[in-house]
A and B are shown apart, each in its own frame.
Chain A
Amino acid sequence: MGIQQETHPSNPNQVPLIKVQNLTKKFADITAVDKISFDVRHGELFGFLGPNGAGKTTTINMLIGLARPDSGMIRVSNLELTKNPKFAQHLIGVVPDESNLYPELSGFDNLSFCGALYGLSKSEREARARELLETFSLKDAAHRKFAGYSRGMKRKLTIAAGMIHRPQILFLDEPTSGIDVASARQIRQLIADLHHNGTTIFLTTHYIEEAERLCDRIAFIVKGQIVRIDTVKDLLVPVQEKHRMIISIVHSGEALSIDLASLFPDFKFQSLSSEEIRIESVNPIRVGPLIKVLEDHQIEVKEARLQRPSLEDVFVQITGIEADAMRKEKERGTGNA
């Protein structure tokens, strides 16, 4: 089971590696996952983007065999898993949202043990462990106990453990949440490299920029339902035709008294704060007349900058969830940025 797939980049006509249909999971009175359907293609980096409690982890748990679906179908590599999730467990690697390695063991011993669980011989798994420790820049900590690792190091070793047996599909549940910025950046780079080498990746995240940067295709999941699945490129089409500018002004202490909307009917104005105005327009924004009007009213313009339309806009448009709210909610949840 080499990780180098002939089919990369993903080919929509091939039989998908993961096929999910009408998958549903209820916990008592809440429907955590509600009739979701999607495919993950060979070599693809597929993202599940949604706020806290959307049903991302529950979906992963059903795909890997830690949770039993109430209804629906799961196929991995054309094996029907709904009845027996053990069928495909040798093909998949799992990186849970919380590091769950053995605190008592060193980094190296943890990796070697995980390799043994997949039946790798001693020489095979130790060579692989050394290779992964090198890749994740954990070589110096290889023989220190896992318990003493920082959060970022723990997460990195947990990802390495998920890859020890060179799985065809890697499940990553919020791989960069709750860790330091530098580790998060390194992990994103590693995920990109892994994807580049042909591993199929199923990634969940609540970071919109992360999904945009890494994923081939993204499913927006809200309250257990998938509201949209598309390639990042296609998701961005509707916003790409828009022009957007942010104008910063010096706050005068009074509310803006000019009716900009009637003076510039082509523009859509939104006041972001007392010092920032957002302007959207279908046509290129001509900034001269606008600044002139503002300055004529003694409003000093500090800066006018174009804003690249991003997935965030699409997400907000489709889900109605403000991106900031999602970020904050999550930070409160984990107590960590």
Chain B
Amino acid sequence: MKAWIAFWNILLKDMRAYYLKPPNISWGLIFPIAWTGMFFIKSGSGIESILSLLPGVISISILFGTTSMLAVTVTFEKKNRSFERLLLAPIPLEVLMLAKTAGAILFGVVNAFVPVILALFLTDLSQVNWMAVFPAVVMIAIASAFLGLFIAVSVSEVFEAQTFSNFFRFPMIFLCGLFFPIKSLPIFLRPLSYVFPLTYGVDILHGAINNQNSMPISLDFLIITTFCAGLFTISLRNIHRKWIT
């Protein structure tokens, strides 16, 4: 109960202090809209291609919306030492870090539905398997938030966190099968695709939206869940090792 009060208030405070600030709201909306517009127009192949682009646009919106937030909620607070308050609170580190990432996860999920809502007006989504889309969106948001967390606890300056996350994010757009299949990548790059959790989340979306998954969806879920658990565990260990000196 007490840990829950702490969890909820950490989340609420981050929402008020960071996520619900006008720049972040507009960024959270404009960014997915821009991605959507860019890819839908660029492809030039008319309305039918929307369905094939949707998984990539959803993923990119989540990825960019989520990862950068941890640089603020974690790295910035570590830098100005307010994070010490959280470390001193009588709550388990796991609960604390889940609270710190929950905001980013929610933010990512909201971001994901901006392109979905746009697509709703432009094309027929009746074939989409929403029962797979929802959990996939949540898993992609969790994986991206934990990737952001991993980066945020590995650096000490906010700009480092941002630079470091771009180092991951841009290659991921190409390597994770967002807009073209992994099969079309040069063979030596393909193994790289499989070290990113996003690959598996995108595969679920391709399956749920276009019926074009390259792996069984249950296997995708299993692997992305394992990635999430791994990233979270490593981040907690890094906090223990680096921030409690």
Which residues of A are interface residues toward B (Cβ below 8 A)? 27, 64-68, 86, 89-90, 92, 94, 96, 98, 100-105, 113-114, 116-121, 161
Contact = CB atoms under 8 A, between A and B. Distances in A.
B84 A96 contact: yes
B24 interface: no
B244 A68 contact: yes
Interface stretch (B2-10, B109-117, B148-156, B186-194): B2-10
16 contacts: A66-B88, A66-B244, A66-B245, A89-B89, A89-B90, A92-B88, A98-B81, A100-B80, A104-B17, A105-B13, A105-B17, A116-B9, A119-B3, A119-B90, A120-B5, A161-B85
A100 B3 contact: no
Most chain B Cβ neighbours within 10 Å, of A68, A86, A103: A86
Contacts of A67: 244-245
A119 B244 contact: no
Interface in B54-79: none
Interface size class of B (residues with CB under 8 A): 20 to 34
A229 to B, nearest CB: 26
A102 B81 CA distance: 10
Contacts of B86: 117
Interface in B1-41: 1-3, 5-6, 8-10, 13, 17
A120 B2 CA distance: 7
Interface string B191-223: 000000000000000000000000000000000
Contacts of A104: 17
B82 interface: yes
B82 A101 contact: yes
B90 A90 contact: yes
A65 B244 CA distance: 7
A116 B6 contact: yes
In this complex, the member of B5, B81, B84, B244 whose beta carbon has the largest number of chain A beta carbons within 10 angstroms is B5
B1 A113 contact: no
B244 A117 contact: no
Nearest to B86: A117
B46 interface: no
B5 A89 contact: no
B88 A102 contact: no
A84 to B, nearest CB: 11
A100 B13 CA distance: 15
Nearest to B92: A86
Interface in B115-133: none
B81 to A, nearest CB: 4
**Which of A64, A92, A104, A119 has the largest number of chain B CB atoms within 10 A?**
A119
A89 B85 CA distance: 11
B87 interface: yes
B22 to A, nearest CB: 14
B91 interface: yes
A147 to B, nearest CB: 11
B88 A64 contact: yes
